[in-house]
Homo-oligomer: A and B are copies of this chain.
Amino acid sequence: MSRTPNQDQQIVLINTFTVKSENADALLAVLAEATEKVMRHRPGFVSATFHLSLDRMHVANYARWRSRADFDATMSDPIAREHMGKAGKLAERFEPMLYTVAHDEQRAAS
């Protein structure tokens, strides 16, 4: 079984930002604005969920895109890059990683 994604396979971006805790809210605001104004209008955007760690030193974006090609097209868009640059400046570092979903479990019926 091959898990190499094809053009039709949904992908997941998990981008983990390390932040100074005092910058966490500003970073979340920039990410929300970028998504509201740019990302969600781009072809292939499915959803984005932004998370704040309990220690307020990490912010994680969990985003679904219809395909790798759609994600790559948005990432090479100058307007999207400008927004991501603003986010990057608020973080100490960030680690974007692209995934496919391998397995999914819901709560057992009770």
* Chain A residues close to B by CB (< 8 Å): 3-5, 11-12, 14, 16, 28, 31-32, 35-36, 39-41, 45-54, 56, 58-60, 62, 68, 97-108
Contacts and interface: CB of A to CB of B under 8 A. Distances in A.
A14 B101 contact: no
A20 to B, nearest CB: 16
Contact of A62 (B14, B40, B52, B59): B14
Copies of this chain: 2
Mostly, the A contact residues are strand
Nearest to A54: B98
19 contacts: A12-B51, A14-B62, A28-B103, A32-B105, A35-B103, A36-B105, A39-B105, A40-B106, A46-B106, A47-B104, A49-B103, A51-B102, A52-B100, A54-B68, A54-B100, A58-B97, A58-B99, A59-B102, A60-B97
